[in-house]
Amino acid sequence: MAQAIVDDEVELGARVAGGPVPVLRKGMAEWLFLVPALIFFIGYQVWPIVRVLWLSFTNFQLLSDKPAQWVGFDNYAQALHDPLMWASLGRAALFTIMFLPGTIILPLLLAIFVDRVANQRLATLYRVILLIPAVIPSTLIFVLWKWMYNYQSGPINHLLVNVFGLFTIQNAPQWLGGTPLTLPAIAIMEVWWGLGYHTIFFIAGLAAIPKDMPDAARIDGANEWQVFWHVTRPQLAPIMMILVVLRFGSAMAVIEEYLIFGGFNRASPTYTWTIFMYDQAFKTGLWRQGYAASIGMIGAIAMMIVMAGLIWIFRPKG
Amino acid sequence: MSGRNEQEYIFQEAARLELAQGRIDRREFITRSLVSGLGLAGVGAVAKSGITPAFAADRPLTPTFYQWIQDLHPGIPAVNAKFPGINYQIAPVEGFGIERFVAEAKNKQSTWDVYVGQTPFVEMSAFIKAGVIEPWDNYIPKDVIDDIIPSIRAECSVDGKLYSWPFFLDVIGTSWHSGITGKAGVPDAAPATWDEFLASSKKIVDSKAAPWGATFDAHGWRSLVPVTHSMSTKAYTPEGLFDFTSEPAIEALKLMKQIMAYSNPDILLEGSSDAGVNSTTDEVAFQAQRVGLYFKYFNAPLRMAASWDDPKLLHLGPLPKFTNGEGSTVFWTTGCALFKYGQNKEKAAEYIKALTYDPQIWKDSIVGTPGVHPGQLPPYKSIYAGWDSSKPDWMPPFVGLVRSQLDRAKAIDNNIFGLQQFVIGKPIWETYLKGEEPDPKVAMTKVMEAVQKEIKKG
């Protein structure tokens, strides 16, 4: 307090003297604390993006000893004319369409149910059970679901063939390995994996809604659906927007699961733009990293356009 | 001060290179410098090129292995024990990814001295192109290089120089579950021809001895290529690419479709590890004892049969051939690459020689150890000659059969697209296998076009 008074007096004095107020000096300490984070952000986030952007305008091939040469938009033109670019983007979009509703509808329903559980211990137990998949490392998740989906020895097909008799050993579903079922199978795995995590988002959102609002709506004669649609849903809109935008980004950018479940088969539904980019950068020919960079930039720009649309659609209204 | 003459510079640079390559140590370098009168000028050369090369000789021998090699060959630690101080490591190469090696070479560095896990047709051309590896010729003893089986030496060489010191030999052959074939009334012998193979597969299915008669690994280098070679090994273009439109390749594709009529329905699906290349559906089917006949490199059926109630029911033999075909097969080796920017190169050669000649490693590989049975064979004439002259009591029959076929076997030609041509082509030739394209020649022509299109991109 005393220091603030002294500072103010200094400032007043400076103004009286007619000189500029050294506002920046007052905030310098705060900026200094940001420097380490800024260095990390610029070094590990911004610089790689700038570097990839530059690469995308060159014909750089990592295995070649020729220096990279500027080619302008040639890589972009080639990528945009490559049917595989559009096919791979489409596959990623298809997966995202399968996956996204699972990050909203099911977690929201579960959050509403858990929120209405009167017994707090039971509610806590439900939350813990929901969060178990979220704490399992990704490697174990993939091993688990590869076994679950195994055509010949997995428990899902065992149930379908040997227990329920819905299929035979010859026509049982082929869940992975590049079949049409592969993307839905991975989507189910991802929804299960993130279910608890997404539910917690909505539980937190529900806790923030003042209880008198839905009560008032019920007194006014609204049924449960009307209470949800007109009271609860708008209050949860910011959370929905965050989840949709975040999950859209992560779904479009999936690569690990596709590498593990689908490999580099170009006809596979898992050969998305991320695999295409990786294939060009580290597997094919002389490793055309300039071309791969352009694939990455096209995918990123496409995602940004859609994200902007999603933010606008899910923006909190009123 | 007088200028230094050219001879001094030449001598100094030669000595500096030897020091950088680890062929002499610091003491030797300084001794040579002093003896030749260069004195502090020699030290100056070291300072100019940096401290790291001078200290190179202090780094212990640092080999790095693909994980599966350690998993399948438990005799390696015993060899390592003969090299005190060795800095043995596992390579960051999951999914056959070699990016780390390439990135380091671009910076003229190498964390490791030698990589054990290189398959010539897969990554050797990329390593050479990117300047990651150098030939072994300056380091491998002459008696060793002359001892390598000629076809293997050819596989591991480019322009007459040995870029891969071969270690494990894999050959594609036939295996069968003798319990299933016996139950089906199929002869307990490797089918001599593909017609016999098909007939036996059908018999297994018809007799219900097993759900499926035969299986194979649908990746091209494990099925299309060996079947092609069984007709003819003249199926490569002058550029060293597989000629998908050649008659042997087209006949091979047609045969694969015929075999699929008796195979597990998921035979064309990607595997579940190493980006779909390993832990394949054929292995699952064979391990589950649901299929009678199988052709793949021998370590696959040996590993799968290890979990059977009675692993002795596994029998092995050579690949069938087409009637009037050459009767060849395909082989490849997993070998050792010498990093150009690695150190301890003479020591690396000593180590690799010790590894590749170790009798316990070969016995364990052929006979198996608890839980592991790779079935991979050595690359040296002398080892086979020794077994021929004094046959060990543990030697199974398949080794002799495979060795005899090796003289007719051919490796896949080395090319930067050596592996990728099959990855690119697989979904296209599979349109014929799935019945989407009725004409195999059309499918294979599209494969060639797709591969050529990719090559043109660079």
- Residues B85-130: pLDDT tens digits? 999 999 887 766 799 999 999 999 999 999 999 999 999 999 999 9
Residue B356 sits at the chain A interface (C-beta within 8 Å):
no
Answer positive or negative: Cα dihedral of A224, A230, A233, A235: negative
Same domain for B252 and B145, yes or no, is no
Nearest neighbour of A153 by CB, restricted to B106, B288, B416: B288
In this predicted structure, the answer to whether residue A9 has a pLDDT above a threshold of 50 is no
Task: Report, as an integer, the average pLDDT of A80-87.
Answer: 96
Residue B416 sits at the chain A interface (C-beta within 8 Å):
yes
In this predicted structure, the answer to whether residue A21 has a pLDDT above a threshold of 60 is no
In this predicted structure, the answer to whether residue B64 has a pLDDT above a threshold of 80 is yes
Picking from A6-10, A226-230, B282-286, B292-296, which range would have the lowest pLDDT averaged per residue? A6-10
Q: Which domains does chain A have, with CATH numbers?
A: 74-313 (1.10.3720.10)
From chain A, the residues in CB contact with B423 under 8 A are 264-265, 283
Task: Report, as an integer, the average pLDDT of B70-76.
Answer: 92
Q: What's the pLDDT score for residue B272? A: 83
Residue type, B123: E
Q: Is B186 contained in some domain? A: yes
In this predicted structure, the answer to whether residue B145 has a pLDDT above a threshold of 80 is yes
B443-448 contact pairs (CB < 8 A, 24+) = B443/B253, B444/B244, B444/B245, B444/B249, B444/B250, B444/B253, B445/B244, B445/B245, B447/B244, B448/B243, B448/B244, B448/B245
Q: What's the pLDDT score for residue A259? A: 85
Q: What's the pLDDT score for residue B273? A: 81
Most confident of A207-221, B181-195, B273-287: B181-195
The answer to whether the Cβ–Cβ distance between B284 and A151 falls below 8 Å is yes
Same domain for B294 and B195, yes or no, is yes
Q: Which domain holds residue B273?
A: 172-328+412-457
Q: Is B1 contained in some domain? A: no
From chain A, the residues in CB contact with B288 under 8 A are 152-153
From chain A, the residues in CB contact with B457 under 8 A are 78, 285, 288, 291
Instruction: Confirm if B319 and B230 have CB atoms less than 8 A apart.
Output: yes
How far is the C-alpha of B131 from the C-alpha of B137, rounded, in Å?
16
How far is the C-alpha of B444 from the C-alpha of B448, rounded, in Å?
6
The answer to whether the Cβ–Cβ distance between A291 and B457 falls below 8 Å is yes
Task: Report, as an integer, the average pLDDT of B177-204.
Answer: 97
Same domain for B132 and B202, yes or no, is no
Same domain for B299 and B435, yes or no, is yes
The more confidently predicted of residues A19 and A315 is A315
Q: Of A256, A60, A290, whose CA–CA distance to A139 is shortest?
A: A256
How many Cβ atoms are within 10 Å of B159's Cβ, its own excluded?
Answer: 7
Same domain for B232 and B369, yes or no, is no
Same domain for B271 and B153, yes or no, is no
Residue B452 sits at the chain A interface (C-beta within 8 Å):
no
Confidence of residue B164 (pLDDT cuts 50, 70, 90): very high
Same domain for B442 and B304, yes or no, is yes
Q: What's the pLDDT score for residue A315? A: 77
- Tokens at B2, concatenated: 């007088």
Residue B28 sits at the chain A interface (C-beta within 8 Å):
no
Pairing of strands B314-317, B212-216: unpaired
- Percentage above 70 pLDDT, chain B: 87
Site of tokens 């069984």: B230
Q: Is B102 contained in some domain? A: yes
Same domain for B177 and B216, yes or no, is yes
Most confident of A195-209, A217-231, B206-220: B206-220
Q: What's the pLDDT score for residue B4? A: 47
The more confidently predicted of residues B33 and A112 is A112
Instruction: Work out the minimum CA distance from B244 to partner chain A, whole angstroms.
Output: 18
- Residues A269-281: pLDDT tens digits? 999 999 999 999 9
From chain A, the residues in CB contact with B106 under 8 A are 62
How far is the C-alpha of B129 from the C-alpha of B309, rounded, in Å?
48
Q: What's the pLDDT score for residue B182? A: 97
| Tally of structural domains, chain B | 3
In this predicted structure, the answer to whether residue B50 has a pLDDT above a threshold of 50 is no
Q: What's the pLDDT score for residue B42? A: 45
In this predicted structure, the answer to whether residue B18 has a pLDDT above a threshold of 70 is no
Q: What's the pLDDT score for residue B15? A: 66
- Averaged confidence pLDDT in chain A: 88
Instruction: Confirm if A75 and A293 have CB atoms less than 8 A apart.
Output: yes
Nearest neighbour of A284 by CB, restricted to B277, B420, B428: B420
Phi, psi of A271 (to 5 degrees): -80, 80
Site of tokens 């008799």: A165
pTM to 2 decimals?
0.84
In this predicted structure, the answer to whether residue B448 has a pLDDT above a threshold of 90 is yes
Q: Which of A78, A152, A279 to mutate: most B Cβ within 10 Å? A: A152
Q: Is B89 contained in some domain? A: yes
Residue type, A306: V
The more confidently predicted of residues B79 and A313 is B79
Instruction: Work out the minimum CA distance from B275 to partner chain A, whole angstroms.
Output: 4
Q: Which of A284, A294, A295 to mutate: most B Cβ within 10 Å? A: A284
The answer to whether the Cβ–Cβ distance between A263 and B97 falls below 8 Å is no
- Residues A96-130: pLDDT tens digits? 999 999 988 999 999 999 988 889 899 899 989 99
Indicate the residue among B58, B79, B101 that finishes a domain: B58
Nearest neighbour of A285 by CB, restricted to B95, B130, B458: B458
In this predicted structure, the answer to whether residue B79 has a pLDDT above a threshold of 90 is yes
Q: Is B370 contained in some domain? A: yes
Q: What's the pLDDT score for residue A155? A: 96
Same domain for B156 and B192, yes or no, is no
Q: What's the pLDDT score for residue B38? A: 47
Instruction: Work out the minimum CA distance from B440 to partner chain A, whole angstroms.
Output: 18
The answer to whether the Cβ–Cβ distance between A265 and B281 falls below 8 Å is no
Q: What's the pLDDT score for residue B231? A: 96
Confidence of residue A190 (pLDDT cuts 50, 70, 90): very high
The answer to whether the Cβ–Cβ distance between A63 and B416 falls below 8 Å is yes
Residue type, A17: A
In chain B, which residue's Cα lies nearest the Cα of A288? B458
Task: Report, as an integer, the average pLDDT of A291-313.
Answer: 94
Q: What's the pLDDT score for residue B33? A: 60
Q: Is B314 contained in some domain? A: yes
The answer to whether the Cβ–Cβ distance between B266 and A151 falls below 8 Å is yes
Task: Report, as an integer, the average pLDDT of B192-197.
Answer: 97
Q: What's the pLDDT score for residue B52? A: 45
In this predicted structure, the answer to whether residue A20 has a pLDDT above a threshold of 70 is no
In chain B, which residue's Cα lies nearest the Cα of A60? B458
Picking from A54-68, B37-51, B81-95, B267-281, which range would have the lowest pLDDT averaged per residue? B37-51
Same domain for B67 and B183, yes or no, is no
- Residues B321-344: pLDDT tens digits? 999 899 999 999 999 999 999 999
Q: What's the pLDDT score for residue A261? A: 81
From chain B, the residues in CB contact with A264 under 8 A are 275-276, 423
Instruction: Work out the minimum CA distance from B458 to partner chain A, whole angstroms.
Output: 6
Same domain for B88 and B140, yes or no, is yes
Same domain for B164 and B187, yes or no, is no
In this predicted structure, the answer to whether residue A208 has a pLDDT above a threshold of 80 is yes
The more confidently predicted of residues B20 and B312 is B312
Residue B18 sits at the chain A interface (C-beta within 8 Å):
no
Residue B165 DSSP one-character state = E
In this predicted structure, the answer to whether residue A73 has a pLDDT above a threshold of 70 is yes
- Averaged confidence pLDDT in chain B: 89
Confidence of residue B53 (pLDDT cuts 50, 70, 90): very low
From chain B, the residues in CB contact with A172 under 8 A are 265
Confidence of residue B372 (pLDDT cuts 50, 70, 90): confident
Q: Which residues contact B60 (CB under 8 A, 6 or more apart)?
A: B85, B86, B87, B344
The residues with which B170 forms a beta bridge, in sequence order, are: B332
Q: Count CA atoms closer than 13 A to B117's CA, side-chain side.
A: 24
In chain A, which residue's Cα lies nearest the Cα of B418? A285
Site of tokens 């609204």: A222
Site of tokens 């580290």: A282
From chain B, the residues in CB contact with A146 under 8 A are 272
How far is the C-alpha of B323 from the C-alpha of B366, rounded, in Å?
31
Nearest neighbour of B458 by CB, restricted to A61, A152, A282: A61
Look up the CATH number of the domain holding residue B240.
3.40.190.10
